[in-house]
Structure 1
Amino acid sequence: MDIHFRLATEGDLDSIVYMLADDVLGSKREKYEQPLPESYINAFHSIKSDPNNELIVACKEETVVGVQQLTFTPYLTHQGGWRATVEGVRTAASVRGQGVGSELIIWAINRAKQRGCHVIQLTTDKERSDALRFYERLGFEATHEGLKLKL
């Protein structure tokens, strides 16, 4: 499949939020409606204005078929190294199983290398067993136990 990647624009938000909401877990926490809630627009502008955040879309021709957010964080650990965190990875239902997700993650790995990161990390919900297997096939290892506290 011929996919290209670029930074998301505000005009992509409708497609992005639709993908975020278009699964069992996302439908419980996202709010896809027209017009989009202002919170998504505000978040987009915050991401866009931060040089250590990138919202990346995968496109088939001009249609957005995938999305991911990359956050680059400096750390004192690992001798002051940088790490990349991948968040919000989604593909459109119409292209699932066609390699778009793999291409997104490979793109993210290469981008992290370009930015000089020593590690790339991500989390996936424990209910997403297929996603866990997907990330493991791409070389990710469950080396740490992650914890979250909802606020």
Structure 2
Amino acid sequence: MIFRKAVIEDLPNIVQLLADDELGTTRERYETPLPDSYIEAFNAIEAQVGNQLLLAVEGASIIGCLQLTIIPGLARQGMKRAQIEGVRVAQNQRGTQVGEALFKEAMAIAKAEHCGLVQLTTDKKRKDAHRFYARLGFIASHEGMKFICP
């Protein structure tokens, strides 16, 4: 398994991973051709400094992905933080430590970028994910809120 930054040609496989779970099937549109919204989002991620889609790859197959964003801030004496979102591991790879290895790679990148913490949000329905994150040392220290724009 290797880790690398995604390129535009990876986009269909990434969207397929995002769509391949109980919540993703209702949120994502994996179809050919991909909706333009995915291409626009990928290009925006690529254009933003400190933002990337990190892949776990085995052979020619993408077996895991996450989005890692380095966020500069003023709070906590100008501390940078890393935000992890959109985590997915291929169904046939779950339980094989792909997710753990992917997170360790993301956290190593965050450390190299001098981030003081790594944070993530996770849907309250993802109980297995919560156990996974806790096992990696993440703590539920804050209550998150969101506003859905009309």
TM-score by structure 2 length? Answer: 0.97
Alignment correspondent of 1:107? 105
**DSSP 3-state at the match of 1:106:** helix
Alignment correspondent of 2:84? 86
Query: Percent identity, aligned pairs only?
Result: 50
Amino acid at match of 1:50: Q
Alignment correspondent of 1:124? 122
- The C-alpha deviation readout for 1:21-80, integer Å capped at 9, x for no partner, is 001101111011000001001110111111120111110022111111111111111101
Alignment correspondent of 2:47? 49
2:103, 2:142 → 1: CA distance?
Answer: 20
1:133, 1:93 → 2: CA distance?
Answer: 17
Alignment correspondent of 2:28? 30
**DSSP 3-state at the match of 1:35:** coil
1:49, 1:76 → 2: CA distance?
Answer: 23
Alignment correspondent of 2:144? 146
1:67, 1:41 → 2: CA distance?
Answer: 16
TM-score by structure 1 length? Answer: 0.97
Q: Which runs of 5+ in 1 are unaligned?
A: none
Amino acid at match of 2:46: K
**DSSP 3-state at the match of 1:124:** coil
Alpha-carbon RMSD across the aligned residues, in angstroms, is 0.7
The structure 1 segments of at least 4 consecutive aligned residues displaced by more than 4 Å after TM superposition are: none
2:107, 2:129 → 1: CA distance?
Answer: 17
Matched, 1:62 2:60: yes
Alignment correspondent of 2:13? 15
- The C-alpha deviation readout for 1:67-116, integer Å capped at 9, x for no partner, is 11111111111101100000001011121111111111111111100000
1:52, 1:84 → 2: CA distance?
Answer: 9
Aligned residues: 149
Q: Which runs of 5+ in 2 are unaligned?
A: none
